[in-house]
Amino acid sequence: MIRFAVVDRVLVVTLERPLKRNALIPDALITGRHELLRQAVREDLVAVVLRGAGSFFCAGYDLESIPSVPGGDGRMVGPLDDFVAALAGLDVPTVAVVQGGAYGAGFELALACDLRLTTETARWCMPPARLGLLYSLEGMCRLQRAIGEQRARYLLMTAAVIHGEQAARWGLALEALPEVNALQARCDALLDQLRSVHRASLEGTKRLLRSVEPALEPALLGESEALRAELFAAAELPPKR
C-alpha cells in the first residue's frame, strides 16, 4: 500500500507495508502511480516527500512478486518502472527520507528524487547481482550521474552495502543525520526552505535540468529489457504463494 497525504502544502507519500519492510508489489505501484500524478498537479504543492512507514524506508521489490517472464509490453517490472518515471518526472521538488535501509527498488525510488536525506546508519544496497538479476538501465544511469562511474560500478557489481554516512560523503545523499528525530527535523527545515521560494522557478529549474539529461535510445532500452528477461527467467527466487 502507498498512502498519500497533503500536509502544509507538501504531498507526503508513504510506502506502507511495515511488516515486509515496505517491499513493493505491482498492484500498489500501479494505483500509487495514478494517485501520485493526480495529487501532484495541485497548484498549492511546494514539494513531495517520499518515506517509509516504520523503521525502514524500502526493502525493494517483493521477491515473491518478481515475474519470470516479461509483461505484455516486454518489460520485466513495468509497474515499478512507471512509478519511478512518474516520480522523476514531477515538476515540484521531491525529497526522499531514508531510515533503516534502501535496497534495490527502494534505492531506485530514492534516486528518482531530487534530494535525499538519510540517517547515518541507514543501509543502501543494490542487490540484483547477488540475486542473479539485472538493475534497470535508467536506474544505472541515475546512479552513475549521482556518484560517478567508479562508485556506481562498485555498488552495481558487488552488491555492497554502504551506510548513510558514506552515502552522503559520496554525494548519494544531501546529508546524513545521527538518528530519526534529527532526520525529521532536517527534512522539516528543508521543506521550509522550499516553501520560501517561488514554485514557478522550481518547476522551470526541474524542466531545464531534465532537458539536459541524455535520452536513452529505444533500441538500447529494448536490448536491456531482453537481457533482463534472460536473467529473471534463470534466477532462483522464492516461490510465489
Residue-wise pLDDT tens digits, 156-167: 999 999 999 999
Measured at the CA of 92, the angle between CA 189 and CA 104, to 5 degrees, comes to 85
Q: Of 215, 240, 230, which is closest to residue 74 (Cα–Cα)?
A: 230
Return the pLDDT at 238: 61
Return the pLDDT at 11: 98
| CA dist., res. 60 & res. 109, Å (int) | 9
- Confidence band, pLDDT 50/70/90 cuts, at residue 240: low
Q: What percent of the chain has pLDDT over 90?
A: 77
Query: What region, left, alpha or beta, does residue 22 occupy, with left being phi > 0 and alpha being psi -120 to 50 degrees?
Result: left
Residues in the chain: 241
All domains in the chain, ordered by first residue:
2-179 (3.90.226.10)
Return the pLDDT at 239: 59
Residue 123 has what DSSP assignment? E
Entry pTM: 0.94
Confirm if 194 and 200 have CB atoms less than 8 A apart. no
- Confidence band, pLDDT 50/70/90 cuts, at residue 195: very high
Confirm if 98 and 119 have CB atoms less than 8 A apart. yes
Return the pLDDT at 241: 55
Q: Of 52, 62, 57, 56, which is closest to residue 14 (Cα–Cα)?
A: 52
